[in-house]
Chain A
């Protein structure tokens, strides 16, 4: 059974860089049918897609976050990672990693498997 697990610091200082890693087990991250994505949810609010990466490094980013986001993939360890720079308090959220169906050229589909999520608080 496919499982995803987020890991990283639960507390980040304002203006610093938030870094998270998602470890995938039960399937290879190099599968051709899927991207691997990050989604966040501020406390009491809705879901926001951050970005997604293919095993070859191809990425899609949310335009509203693109200037601060870097998503990378480590196929040897079956992991992918998120870096979000210059974080303000508004970046406080539960961060989820998920498998993202590759619907076709210039088209991303559904998220079928999700990690449990990790709360990252931005505070001094």
Chain B
């Protein structure tokens, strides 16, 4: 059971928009700690996609965007492409655990 809750899977057709939710609690997201998102392509290491709730590292397309409200955060992907098929993870800090926590991951399937 992960501290941050994500849907196990989402899917969308090429060109569509999908969102992935990440639900936390008052000791992590709700306490104001930043949420970060990672993309993990099959067989590779995770890659930082969004940091500080809504910031993109250099080289990440603006099709990827993050937002946060209350005890939840979301990753939106617009103009879905076949290459976006991957696992996505959210991550934050939890004050009760005094450490970093990950969501359980969401598998994105491009139909």
- Distance A103 CA – B44 CA, assembled complex (angstroms): 26
State how many residues of chain A have any CB contact under 8 Å with chain B: 27
In the complex, whether B61 has a CB less than 8 A from a CB of chain A is no
In the complex, whether A26 has a CB less than 8 A from a CB of chain B is no
- Distance A64 CA – B51 CA, assembled complex (angstroms): 25
With a 10 A CB-CB cut-off, give which of A61, A100, A110 has the most chain B CB atoms: A110
The one of B33, B46, B105 in contact with A111, judged by C-beta atoms closer than 8 angstroms, is B46
In the complex, whether A48 has a CB less than 8 A from a CB of chain B is yes
In the complex, whether B111 has a CB less than 8 A from a CB of chain A is no
Q: Is the CB of A108 within 8 A of B99?
A: yes
Q: Which of B14-22, B67-75, B76-84, B89-97 contacts A (4 or more CB under 8 A)?
A: B89-97
Chain A, 11-43, contact with B by CB distance < 8 Å: what is the 0/1 string? 000000000000000000000000001010000
- Distance A115 CA – B102 CA, assembled complex (angstroms): 18
Closest to B103 in A: A46
The one of B45, B93, B99, B103 in contact with A116, judged by C-beta atoms closer than 8 angstroms, is B45
Minimum Cβ distance to chain A for residue B100 (Å):
4
- Cβ < 8 Å to A, chain B residues 43-61: 44-48, 51-52, 57
Q: Is the CB of A114 within 8 A of B105?
A: no
Q: Is the CB of B101 within 8 A of A49?
A: yes
Q: Is the CB of B91 within 8 A of A110?
A: yes
With a 10 A CB-CB cut-off, give which of B33, B52, B100 has the most chain A CB atoms: B100
- Distance A51 CA – B44 CA, assembled complex (angstroms): 21
Q: Is the CB of A49 within 8 A of B100?
A: yes
In the complex, whether A54 has a CB less than 8 A from a CB of chain B is no
24 contacts between A and B (CB under 8 A): A39-B46, A46-B89, A47-B89, A47-B91, A47-B105, A48-B102, A49-B91, A49-B101, A49-B102, A51-B99, A52-B100, A61-B99, A62-B99, A63-B98, A63-B99, A103-B34, A103-B93, A107-B93, A109-B93, A110-B34, A111-B38, A111-B46, A112-B57, A114-B46
Q: Which B residues are within 8 Å of any A CB, using their own CB?
A: 2, 33-34, 36, 38, 44-48, 51-52, 57, 89, 91, 93, 95, 97-105
Q: Which A residues are within 8 Å of any B CB, using their own CB?
A: 37, 39, 46-49, 51-52, 60-63, 96, 100-101, 103, 106-112, 114-117
